[in-house]
Structure 1
Amino acid sequence: MIHALLIPNVGWPELLARARRLEDMGVSTVWVDDHLLNPAHPAQPWLDAWSVLPALAASTTRLRLGPLVANGILRPPAVLARHALSVDHISGGRLELGLGSGYAAADRAAGADVPFADVVATVAAALRGEPVLDGVPALAPVTGRVPLTVAAHGPRALDIAATHADRWVSYGGFGLPMSEHLALTRRRAERVGPIRRMLLAGSPAVTETPIWRSVAAVEDFTGRYREAGIDEFAFYYPPGPMWSDDDADRVFEDYVTS
C-alpha cells in the first residue's frame, strides 16, 4: 500500500492535477499537509488543507484522502471532527483522518492549548459516530467509522496512538543518519504495538538516503524499515523538486506501478 503527501504550496489547478496523476498511478491514499503557513518557507503561497480536501473529494473517484496530519491545536476538537466527517460524506466514505499535535511555530502561536490526549479522544469518539457536544447530534460516518491515524514520537503520544488509532505515523526525525533513524523507529513501532505503522519519507529533510536514484534504491530503503516494524509508506510528491533530480519523478512512478 503506497501513500503520497501533497504539499499545498502550488495553485489549485496544479495540486488537483497532481492528485489525479497519483490516482491514475494507483496510489492508495493522497494526504495533504496541514499547517497555517508553509513551515519551511512562510512567505510562500499555501492552501488550507481543509479547503483543499473537500475539493479533492469532489474531483476524484477512487483515492482515499486525508490530512497528514491535521493539527489538533488549530481547531477545537469538535470543529475538527465536523470538518472530517463532512469530507467523509463528500467523498463517499474515502476519508483517512491523520491527527497530530503540531510542531510548527506558527501553528503553536495561533492554536489553542488543548491537551493532545483530549483532542484525540474527542475526535476518535466523533469518528465512531458518537456526539461530542451536549445537545448537538452526531454526524455518522458513511461506512460506520473513519480510520484514524495518529502522529506520535514521545512516549505519552505513542501510548495515545496505541489506545485510539488504527494507524501510527512518524517522519522519524530531522537530520538523523539512517542507523539512528532505524533504531528509533524500531523502538517506537514496538511501543505502539499491533496497529498499522506508517513512515513519512522521501524528502531530504527526513530521509538522508537519496532513494529516488532507482527503484532498487527505494526497495532497499523500504525493506530496511519493514524490518524495523513499518507496514506502509507515505512519500512526498512530487519528489523531483526536493532533490533537484530530473529522474526522481520517473523513479517514483516506476516504483508505484511496478
Structure 2
Amino acid sequence: MRYGIVILPEYRWPQAAPLWRRAEDYGFDHAWTYDHLAWRSLADGPWFGTVPTLTAASMVTSRIQLGTFVASPNFRHPVSFVRDVLSLDDISAGRFLLGVGAGGTGFDSTVLGEDTLPPPRLVARLGEFLELLDRLLTEDDVSYAGDYFTAVHARTQPGCLHKPRLPMVVAANGPKSLRLAARFGQGWATTGAGGHDSTQQWWRGIAELTTRFDDIIAQDGGEPATIDRYLSLDSAGPFALSSAEYFTDAVGRAAELGFTDVVTHWPRATGVYAGDEAVLDKIASDHLSAR
C-alpha cells in the first residue's frame, strides 16, 4: 500500500512549507492539494493558488510525489493548463501527478458566470478535457475542435520528462467516467458513489465500483492490475485520522478491495477534517516508517 495526504492550500507559505516537508519526512508516498478557486465551508477563509503552491512544495521536498486532487474543466482550459502542468513536471523533476476530474457543482462551476452543467455534460466535457490534454502532453502543434474546447496549432515544447507523458490520475465514480479513467488514467481515484446512508453502505459501494472498473478494463482488453487505484478515505463516515485504529481498519479494507493507494487529509484545528496531529504521528510510525 502507498499512502497520500492532502494539504489544503489555506495557509500562508511560512506555515504551509513545514507541512509539506513533514509529509515527506513522515514517509508519505504522495502529497496533494485541492484545485479549486474556493471550496465549500472554507470559501470565506484564505485560499491560495494550486500551481504556485505545488511549485513551492516541490522546492522544499525532494522525494515525495506531488499532485492535484483534482484539477477540473470548471475553470481550466487544456491549452493554458498544459503549460502549468509541464512546468510542474519539470520543476519537480518528474514528481508531479496530474489528478483530473469532471468538476463539481459548487463555487467553481458558477464563479465565472456560467451555468452548472448537468452530470451527462460534465462527463462529456471531462472526456474532451482528457483527450485534448493527452494530445497536448504527447504531441506538439495540436489543433482540436470539440463541443467544449478548441485548440489551434497549440505548441507544447519541451514536452514531459516521462515518456510518452506524465501520469494522470482520473477521478471517477460513475460508469461513463470510469471508462475515461480506464482509457486515459495511469491511476483511478474514487470517493465512492453518492447516496450512501452509512459507512458500511459506502464500503459496499466502493466494492461495487472496483468490480465495475475491472469489468470495464477487461471489456476493453486491458489488464486491471496495470492501473493504480487511489481511494479517498475521508469521503464517508468518520475522518480517517479520527483515530489510529480507524485508519488502520480503513487501510485494511482498501487493501482487500485491491486499492494500491489511500489518501487522507492533514488534520485541521476545526471544521472539516478536524483532528489531532498526534494521530498523524501515530499512523506515520505504524504504517510509514515501518516500511
- Fold equivalence (TM over 0.5): yes
AA aligned to 1:152 is: A
Contact kept in structure 1, 2:4 and 2:28, CA below 8 Å: yes
Question: Within 2, Cα distance between the matches of 1:244 and 1:5?
Answer: 14
**Distance in 2, Cα, partners of 1:53 & 1:129:** 25
Q: Structure 2 CA distance, aligned partners of 1:130 and 1:191?
A: 35
What are structure 1's unaligned runs of at least 5 residues?
Answer: none
Q: Percent identity?
A: 25
* Counterpart contact for 1:176–1:208, Cα < 8 Å: no
For residues 241 and 58 of structure 2, the distance between their equivalents in structure 1, rounded to whole angstroms, comes to 29
Distance 2:211 2:181 in 1: 12
Query: What's the TM-score, normalizing by structure 2?
Result: 0.79
1:233 partner SS: strand
Equivalent in 204, 222, 235 of residue 183 of structure 1: 204
Residues 113-142 of structure 1 show CA distances to partners (whole Å, capped at 9, x for unaligned) of 771110011112233345434433323101
Deviations 1:98-126 (A, max 9, x none): 00111142111136777111001111223
Please state if 1:159 is matched with 2:160. Answer: no
Query: Which residues in structure 2 correspond to 1:73-152 (within 5 Å)?
Result: 73-110=74-111, 115-133=125-143, 134-139=152-157, 140-144=159-163, 145-152=165-172
Is the Cα–Cα contact under 8 Å of residues 4 and 262 in structure 2 kept in the other structure? yes
Change (3 A) 1:80 1:179: same
Structure 2 unaligned residues grouped into runs of 5+:
118-123, 144-151, 215-223
Corresponding residue SS for 1:226? helix
For 2:30, the equivalent position in structure 1 comes to 29
Residues 60 and 244 of structure 1: CA distance in aligned 2, closer, same or farther (over 3 Å): closer
Distance 1:6 1:70 in 2: 15
1:64 positional shift: 1.1
| Structure 1 residue 143: Cα displacement | 2.1
Compared with structure 1, are the counterparts of its residues 132 and 14 closer, same or farther at alpha carbon in structure 2 (3 Å cutoff)?
farther
Matched residue of 1:71: which SS? coil
State the SS of the aligned residue for 1:19.
Answer: helix
Match for residue 43 of structure 1?
44
Contact map agreement 1:190 1:229 (CA 8 A) in 2: no
Q: Which moved more, 1:109-118 or 1:155-164?
A: 109-118
Cα offset for 1:58? Answer: 2.4
1:155-190 deviations in Å (ceiling 9; x for gaps): 111111111111111122576422211121122222
The higher radius of gyration belongs to 2
Question: Aligned equivalents of 1:208 and 1:20: distance in 2?
Answer: 29
2:48 match: secondary structure? coil
TM-score (norm 1): 0.89
Q: Which residue type is aligned with residue 226 of structure 1? A: A
For residue 40 of structure 1, give the secondary structure of its aligned residue in structure 2. Answer: helix
* Residues 213, 251 of structure 1: 8 Å contact kept: no
- Distance 1:5-1:131 versus aligned 2 partners, 3 A rule: farther
Q: Matches of 1:199 and 1:61 in 2, distance apart?
A: 24
Distance 2:142 2:32 in 1: 25
**Secondary structure at 2:41 match in 1:** coil
Alpha-carbon offset, residue 88 of structure 1: 0.4
Structure 1: distance between partners of 2:202 and 2:268 = 20
Misfit runs of 4+, over 6 Å? none
CA distance in 2, matches of 1:246, 1:92: 30
Partner of 2:217: none
2:228 paired residue number: 196
Q: CA deviation at 1:92?
A: 1.2
User: May I ask how many residue pairs the two structures share in their alignment?
Assistant: 255
